[in-house]
Amino acid sequence: MHVKNWDKAKLDFGVFRDTVSMAADRARKLGDAPETNPSTAVWRLVEALRGHGCR
């Protein structure tokens, strides 16, 4: 997804809400994150939050 005029300091989650599940699924399919960049396994956090009713 390309967001015109992206500014990480002014994140509007509403722009991404509908695509979070798809992004987590794609990330999971990439496999385990390398130890040098554990943030690439953020899909695990997303799934944990979804498992607790967070959307």
> In tens digits, what is the pLDDT along the chain, a chain of 55 residues?
778 888 889 888 888 888 888 888 888 888 777 777 777 788 888 888 888 776 6
What rounded mean pLDDT belongs to the chain? 82
Contact at 8 Å (CB) between 32 and 41?
A: yes
Cα 7 from Cα 12, distance rounded (Å): 9
pLDDT at 15: 87
Q: What is the pLDDT of residues 26-41, one digit of tens each?
A: 888 887 777 777 777 8
pTM above 0.75, yes or no: no
Cα 55 from Cα 46, distance rounded (Å): 9
Cα 30 from Cα 7, distance rounded (Å): 26
